[in-house]
Amino acid sequence: MLTAPPRVLALGDAALTVEFGSEIAPEIHARVLGFAQALEAAVARGALAGVVEWVPAYRSLTVYFDPAAELDDPATQAEILLALARQAPAVAPAGRRWRIPVCFDAAFAPDLDALAAAKGLTRAAVITLLTATPFRVYMLGFLPGFPYLGGLPEALALPRRATPRTAVPARSLAVAGRMCSVYPWESPGGWHLLGRTPVRLFDADHAADPALFHPGDEIRWVAIDRDTYEALERRAATGGLERGSLLVESEAQP
């Protein structure tokens, strides 16, 4: 894929967005991740004043500045960011690899049969495709800890529901378009609900790192039955489901 030259867009009076293309694609996301690393190094050496934080997305990264700080003029900030973006190499994701249990019981998957019928598949075939696919975390947004996951097979792609639900249960696995996600909290939502995980995706007790997933991580779903789900949910509720137990063994943390 040929990627476009980066461009800088103003976002209000205290943020700039650097775009790397118009598609959701691994090649473009690798440029976003490379730019994020270059930006972190630039801020550490004092080359870009007043930066509060930066947020990577599918094909862009937004840099937020402290509006109360003494800043360079916007044109200078934009030129510094553009130079960094042009020079930064693409970075292959070095994220963690997760195995996340999901229960596909009918009570947790109200849209699974309808999606299977619409795509000419059996219920079992949909579950097999979901659990055989490695999903990539492109970004977090919408809700704290809500991961936007690329990689959904075309065979499972459907537009969002015509009528969104007013309340999606917390930890529901859902798909829309070519994306997949899990709702960390109960909330309104228009994606198709295909299962539920007992794993908490956002935990404020992890003060330094409350969100379970990061951009660049890889996720595979592991099918579990209802009894296993309920046992894991009880463990998660009491803090007994450790994050390290969900990582691929070679990368599990002590």
Question: What pLDDT was estimated at residue 253?
Answer: 41
By CB atoms closer than 10 A (0-12, 13-18, 19+), residue 138 is buried
Rounded CA separation 224/169 (Å): 18
**Average pLDDT of the chain to the nearest whole number:** 92
Are 81 and 108 part of one and the same domain? no
If pLDDT is split at 50, 70 and 90, which confidence band does 181 have? very high
If pLDDT is split at 50, 70 and 90, which confidence band does 1 have? low
Contact 169/242 with Cβ under 8 angstroms? no
The CATH number assigned to the domain holding 135 equals: 2.40.100.10
- Cβ contacts of 105 within 8 Å, gap of 6 or more: 195, 196, 225, 226, 229
Question: What pLDDT was estimated at residue 48?
Answer: 83
Residue 40 is encoded by which pair of tokens?
């972190």
Which has more pLDDT, 91 or 224? 224
Question: What pLDDT was estimated at residue 254?
Answer: 34
If pLDDT is split at 50, 70 and 90, which confidence band does 249 have? low
Provide the whole-model pTM: 0.84
- Cβ contacts of 50 within 8 Å, gap of 6 or more: 65, 66, 69, 70, 71
Residue 144 is encoded by which pair of tokens?
């704290």
Which has more pLDDT, 141 or 197? 197
- Whether 47 is covered by a domain: the verdict is yes
- Whether 2 is covered by a domain: the verdict is no
Q: With CA atoms as reference, report the closest residue to 137 among 123, 121, 150.
A: 150
The CATH number assigned to the domain holding 22 equals: 3.30.1360.40
Domain carrying residue 206: 97-251
pLDDT higher than threshold 90 for residue 162: yes
Count structural domains, the chain: 2
pLDDT higher than threshold 70 for residue 246: yes
Which residue among 68, 87, 106 closes a domain? Answer: 87
Are 152 and 232 part of one and the same domain? yes
Mean pLDDT within 24-52: 91
